[in-house]
Amino acid sequence: ETGVTQTPRHLVMGMTNKKSLKCEQHLGHNAMYWYKQSAKKPLELMFVYNFKEQTENNSVPSRFSPECPNSSHLFLHLHTLQPEDSALYLCASSQDPTTALNTEAFFGQGTRLTVV
Amino acid sequence: KQEVTQIPAALSVPEGENLVLNCSFTDSAIYNLQWFRQDPGKGLTSLLLIQSSQREQTSGRLNASLDKSSGRSTLYIAASQPGDSATYLCAVYNAGNMLTFGGGTRLMVKP
């Protein structure tokens, strides 16, 4: 148990569906992240939120829409996805590295997404 | 743009061997470096965190070193066990909350 919880663990959705991934952390961290892990590729950073403000959008298509209502919760809203979007989506949290010396990142177990 | 490379991509060793996993990065202006373990289909488990001012960190049979000036880190695993079989990922933290990952080393320890 890392202190970062992701739901659901598995999701199958059609290309016309709308779904949301949820991430929750109880570590008192200020920064939260979404990563995508596809087969045989390194983890790709998608979005970064620091103190609820989006600080990074790594050229992610608009069919992925993040939401960070507070520093403990992070959502990834999905709509009109493509089969190539099938992947493991990982959420992580850490302290703000500009203020803290120890910026260890903690990851959730991920959501395995399959787009059919 | 930071790039992280891990060598080898895959490694298979008999139980009991000591082994070294390598990680290199192109931009030495890092805050810290973190080693993770990932079991198939699972999330990442943090193993060791080395801050930019440190040279190494140890946890049990694991020892990670950092040479920031040359852009290199190694993860040393002593007396490997079948339970160590997993993918090991190296990641570096740059300014702006940027955690950049290498491609990982897939380790198989045979009984």
pLDDT at B41 over 90: no
Interchain pair B97, A56: CB under 8 A: yes
Question: How many Å separate Cα B11 from the centre of its chain?
Answer: 13
Q: What average pLDDT is seen over chain A?
A: 90
Q: Which class for B40: exposed (0-12), middle (13-18), buried (19 or more C-beta within 10 A)? A: exposed
- Map tokens 């001012």 to a residue: B53
Q: What is the mean pLDDT of residues A47-59?
A: 79
Q: How many other CB atoms are there within 10 angstroms of residue A75's CB atom?
A: 17
Chain B residues within 8 A of A107 when measuring between CB atoms:
36, 43-46
- Residues of chain A above pLDDT 90, percent: 68
Return the amino acid letter for B17: E
- Retrieve residue B110's tokens: 């045979």
Mean pLDDT computed over B76-102: 91
Report chain B residues touching chain A, CB-CB < 8 A: 4, 31-32, 34, 36, 41-46, 49, 51, 89, 91, 93, 95-104
Across chain B, mean pLDDT equals 93
Three-class SS string for A34-72? EEEECCCCCCEEEEEEECCEEEEECCCCCCEEEEEEECC
The reported pLDDT for the residue numbered B76 is 97
Q: pLDDT > 70: what percent of chain B? A: 98
pLDDT over 70 (residue A108):
yes
* pLDDT at residue A59, as a whole number: 84
Cβ within 8 Å, pair B43-A2: yes
For residue A85, pLDDT beyond 90: yes
Residue A56, amino acid: E
Q: Which pLDDT band holds residue A97 (cuts at 50, 70, 90)? A: low
Rounded-to-integer distance, Cα B8 and Cα B37, Å? 15
What is the percentage of chain A residues whose pLDDT exceeds 70?
A: 95
Q: How far is A20 from chain B (nearest CA, A)?
A: 19
Q: Tell me the C-alpha distance between B41 and A8, whole Å.
A: 14
Check whether B25 has a pLDDT greater than 80.
yes
- Tell me the two tokens of residue A50: 């620091």
Neighbours of A27 (CB within 10 A): 14
Question: Is A43 in the B-facing interface, judged by CB distances under 8 Å?
Answer: yes
Return the higher-pLDDT residue of A41 and A5: A5
Beta bridge partners of A103: none
List beta partners, residue B65. B56, B74
| Contacts A86 to B, Cβ<8 Å | none
Contact state of A96 with B97 under an 8 Å Cβ cutoff = yes
Nearest residue, CB atoms, A109 vs list B34, B36, B42: B42
The confidence band for A104, taking pLDDT boundaries of 50, 70 and 90, is confident
- For residue A87 the two structure tokens come to 């992947």
Mean pLDDT, range A36-46, rounded to an integer: 89
Provide the pLDDT for residue A101: 64
Neighbours of B69 (CB within 10 A): 7
Confidence category of residue A24, pLDDT binned at 50, 70, 90: very high
User: In this predicted structure, what is the pLDDT of residue A98?
Assistant: 64
Task: Report the alpha-carbon distance of residue A27 to residue A94 in Å, rounded.
Answer: 8
The pLDDT confidence band at residue B24, using thresholds 50, 70 and 90, is very high
